[in-house]
Amino acid sequence: MLELKNLSKTYRTGDKALQNVTLTVPKGQVMALIGPSGAGKSTLIRCINRLVEPTSGSVILDGTDVTALGSGALRKMRRKMGMIFQQYALVERLTVMENVLSGRLGYVGFWRSYFRKYPQADVDEAFRLLDRVGLLAMADKRADELSGGQRQRVGIARALIQNPRLLLVDEPTASLDPKTSRQIMRLICELCAERDLAAVINIHDVALAQMFVERIVGLKAGELAFDGKPVEMTEDVLTNIYGEEDWHATIREVDDEDAEAEEPVA
């Protein structure tokens, strides 16, 4: 469904952030992207929706070469890619509902969105999504009244109201406590499963990635250094990606019972 072919990015500064990255993400697959700071994870995610222009190579989504699109077609294509950010990127003075509805901006006309006159179907869907992410009672609260975990749930609902085919998720749990981080990862993975949505999740926490996703890709200095299942993530693999350390405590013995024992999101 998503294909990256020899994707490379060299910034004007000469930094080779990505070098010949080739990988395919099938429909419905949730993939975690790990790697040390500066390995190119954010660059890769941003090259997919061309917030960063790749220097060479291509990004194919549902058979369309995203890298070849003009600006109008790119705008339409971006509707298919929901983005979830580390710092949530909410409009603080707007309500939870308004923030969720802003995910429809790519669909409704300028004046309609300017006057915040969203179609009733969008409003109904926003209520459904808020219910699903556990925030229905908060629909009228201002974003700046929410906790980090609640903000990220709004960010998730805003990405989903776009009705995307792919979720691009940049460090969704970096600002959250360990329990909330698990809840957010679980929610993202459950929603992807419910909607047969593919996701690329950029994440520093290797154990958290192992706990929830089915595939982990490791980047090192802009190149693919690992592509496999969570159970294949050994200490040697981590040493290759991050360098020499005692990785024993980081690596999690993954088994299905563990994942099932987690309590569901309230």
Ligand X SMILES: Nc1ncnc2c1ncn2[C@@H]1O[C@H](COP(=O)(O)OP(=O)(O)OP(=O)(O)O)[C@@H](O)[C@H]1O
**Does residue 43 bind ligand X (CB under 6 A)?**
yes
- Which one of the spans 34-42, 72-80, 176-184, 256-264 is the region binding ligand X (CB under 6 A)? 34-42
- 8 A C-beta contact, residue 172 and residue 185: yes
Identify the residue among 28, 38, 134, 148 touching ligand X (CB under 6 A). Answer: 38
Q: How far is CA 79 from the centre of its chain?
A: 14
Cβ closest to ligand X, residue 41 vs residue 132: 41
Among 3, 4, 35, 183, binds ligand X (CB under 6 A): 35
Q: Which positions from 44 through 103 interact with ligand X, judged by CB under 6 A?
A: none
> Exposed, middle or buried: residue 30 (CB in 10 Å: 0-12, 13-18, 19+)?
buried
41/215 with CB nearer ligand X = 41
The answer to whether residue 39 forms part of the interface with ligand X (CB under 6 A) is yes
Instruction: Pick out residues in 4-33 that bind ligand X (CB under 6 A).
Output: 11, 13, 15, 17
How many angstroms separate the CA atoms of 140 and 117, rounded? 16
Rule CB under 6 A: say whether 209 interacts with ligand X.
no
Q: How far from the centroid of its chain's Cα atoms is residue 256's Cα?
A: 23
When binding is defined by CB under 6 A, the residue of 8, 41, 230, 237 that contacts ligand X is 41
Residue with tokens 């058979």: 63
SS3 228: strand
* Residue 243: CB atoms within 10 Å: 9
Task: Tell me how long the chain is.
Answer: 266
Q: If binding is defined by CB under 6 A, does position 218 make contact with ligand X?
A: no
Given the rule CB under 6 A, which residues bind ligand X? 11, 13, 15, 17, 35, 37-43
